[in-house]
Amino acid sequence: MSTQMAGVIAATDAQNSNCPVESPSNNPIQIDSMVDSSRQEVLLDLQGANFLNANGITTALNFMGGFVLWGNYTACYTMLCTNSAIIK
């Protein structure tokens, strides 16, 4: 996720005269799924993505037929949240 976010930030900055003036959030990324450490697919809805974002965690959301970055924070995932808390 971090490399995807870095690429989006670099491309966005390059389009703005190398000035970081635009958020990477809601920009498309090149993935087809998300998996956890046990390689199980993570199915995240808008409510779950917003929960993570409210806790300072950027994630991805499969929105309108493709994944986009969701949030303006780091892609680091803390153990304060569990899959059961965000996936229904």
Q: Which residues contact 32 (CB under 8 A, 6 or more apart)?
A: 67
pLDDT-derived band of residue 78, with 50, 70 and 90 as boundaries? low
6-53 confidence digits (pLDDT tens): 899 899 899 988 888 888 899 999 999 999 889 999 999 999 999 988
Mean of per-residue pLDDT scores for the chain? 82
Q: How far apart are CA 76 and CA 24, in angstroms?
A: 15
> 20, 39 in Cβ contact below 8 A?
no
pLDDT band at 65 (very low <50, low <70, confident <90, very high): confident
